[in-house]
Amino acid sequence: MKRVFVLFLCSISFICAQSRRVEVVSVYCKKEVLDGKVFIHREDIVNAEKKDIWSIDGQQVSYGDYEDAVLNAEKEIRRKERRAQEEQRKRSQEFKNEALVTLNKKILRLTVDRLDHTLKKFDTHSLVHFLDFKNNTISSLEKFNELQEKILPEAKKLIYTPSEESDWIQLSGMVAKLDHIPSLVENLFYDTVRNAIKQCDDTKTLKELLEIVSDV
């Protein structure tokens, strides 16, 4: 931290008359507080005779030592400012990483929960026998199995990886990958139920389908 106090910025001239003696005195005094140290430069001019005094924390020093000490103090102040800026940058980056990991994990968890909920409907009511794949939903059994056996396990692994070991870029990539999948799987479910209703002639199964449609 740097503080500067100029006690007499402009020269002050006055005349002291003592008997027959007249003196013209000009005084300039500058005080600086640099890095916890007090630097004072005083300049007295009496009848055109100049006298400079330099002191650090009350200790009189030479001009050279004074200047070196001032420069070193200013350098230390700058060093501390840069260190503080770097620490602030690190805190900001750590917060950003932490927030991005947390947000992407939460989005991914909600997406996976929605997918799990829909996929369980296929198993619960034996709808796998009536799967109706289309290009605007899930295009094939291979894609359907890949979603359940590969993509979802990878997503769940990312969710349960400790946050300090998580990579928000990887999480964000999985979020983007699954972005539209829940809607596609839900549309596959609707198409599959329609297909089951159309193909099935078993009363028990039809009653199950009735329950399914009632719960949608």
* pTM score of the predicted model: 0.71
pLDDT in tens, 62-75: 999 999 999 999 99
Residue with tokens 């991914």: 108
Specify the higher pLDDT residue, 5 or 113. Answer: 113
Instruction: Give me the percent of the chain exceeding a pLDDT of 70.
Output: 88
Written in H, E and C, the secondary structure of the chain is: CEEEEECCCCCCEEEEEECCEEEEEEEEEEEEEECCEEEEEEEEEECCEEEEEEEECCEEECHHHHHHHHHHHHHHHHHHHHHHHHHHHHHHHHHHHHHHHHHHHHHHHHHHHHHHHHHHHHHHCCHHHHCCCCCCCCCCHHHHHHHHHHHHHHHHHHHHCCHHHCCHHHHHHHHHHHCCHHHHHHHHHHHHHHHHHHHCCCHHHHHHHHHHHHHC
Residue 190, φ and ψ in degrees, nearest 5: -60, -45
- Please give the pLDDT value at position 10: 43
